[in-house]
Each structure stands twice: as structure tokens, then as C-alpha cells.
Amino acid sequence: MALRSQTAFAFVFVTAAFAAEIKIEARHDRWLRDRAGTLTLTGESAAFAGKKKTIAVKWDDVQRAVLNDRFLRLITYEDVRWRLGNDREFEFRLPPDAPVAAVRELLDARLGQRLVLETSLAPSAALWTVRAKRLRAVRGAQGTLHAGAEAVVFESETRGQSLSFRYADIQTIARVSPYEFVLASLYEEHRFQLKEPLSEERFDALWERLQRHKGLKILTYYQGDNR
């Protein structure tokens, strides 16, 4: 049966701010059997209500959240004894028409850099754009790499394979060769094969934008032997 989503916004005015509530018909992804239910996101927590079980996680207890077009994964600070102390995770599968942009805005405001975006932000005025392949362990993803005013975005042709890196989330970047670009975020390194050469001028423009955003005068970086 196809999943359906319903979004409801409840506005509560406190001075100039407001709180939103988002409801999505989703599935709790489990090892043995998924559970269908309603995922409710507010400014305070995430809650999932199924037929037999309810899950509630406060944002203060989330060390990292991963938002994908296909799922929302919450990694908490709680240890799981039978998994040798690994952190407890909850993954909720989203329907194709889930309001991902609204979810992103709510989580970004609440979690900041604890939010990892595996979805594409709307490209802003671009410094440059190149066709690229995102390299992965098993199978890569085809798409377009945008260096924008506020973020670097990989917009994939396949649902669930896009990535967005706000400048605050980027540790460093590298032009290994004119056809290979590397970006290290707060949590992992990402490699891209470029389908057209990335010039020194284009790379330098992005580096200077990143440098200005971080407010640093000197950053050490590696570009390889082909600069």
C-alpha cells in the first residue's frame, strides 16, 4: 500500500517566533519488521506513534540527525548494551511526497550542525556548476555539483543520493586534480569525479568564499600536484 503524508502546522506565537508541528505517515525501520505509524516533529521532539508502540526523542538527546529524501535517522546519546555500547538509532522511512523542505527547516533551526543533509538545498546564485559523479563504496551516483552562495550542493538524478553542505559544516576542500574534487564535512569525507575540468580560478573562488565564511585569514589545505 502506498504511503500517504499529511502535513499540519500549528503556530504558537511567542514574541516574534513560532513553533511548527509536522505530521507524516511514515514507517519505523526495524531489523525484523517495520512498523507503520505517524511521525510527529515539533520544536521540542520527534515522536512516532504506531499501533503497539510509541517512540519519543527530545532534540537535546539527539547527537546527530540525518535527513534524506527517503528517511530520517536519529542517532541518540543512549548506549545499547547488546550492541556493545553502540548508540541507539531510530530510522523512519518517508513517503515520496513527504514535506522534506519543511522538515529540514524545523530540524535546522533546532539542531544546527547536528543535522546532516542528504538532500539537495535549492541552489542559490552559483559560483560554478559542474556535472559530477559521487563516488561510493559500492555504487556511485550521477548528478550536478553546485558551489553556491551559502552551500555546496550535490544534486543527484536519483532520489536519496543528493547531499548539501552548508559552509559551517565544511572542514576543508581539495582539488586533487582538475577532474577530482574532495570535500570533508564534520562527519565524513566525500569524493566526486568531475565530468569537466575544474579550473584553479573556480576552486580558488570557492576556497575564498569558505575562508570568508569561517572568518579565518589562513587555512591550510591540499590541492595536489595538478594545481
pLDDT digits (tens, 9 = 90+) for 77-134: 998 776 666 888 999 999 999 999 999 999 999 999 999 999 988 766 789 999 999 9
Q: What is the pLDDT of residue 86?
A: 84
Q: Which amino acid is at 77?
A: Y
The residue from 60, 80, 115 where one domain ends is 115
The boundaries of the domain holding residue 188 are 128-214
**Looking at the structure, do residues 26 and 108 belong to the same domain, yes or no?**
yes
Number of domains within the chain: 2
**Would the pLDDT of 227 be above 70?**
no
The residue from 115, 146, 166 where one domain ends is 115
The residue from 115, 137, 155 where one domain ends is 115
pTM equals: 0.77
Q: What is the pLDDT of residue 161?
A: 92
Please check whether residue 182 lies inside any domain of the structure. Answer: yes
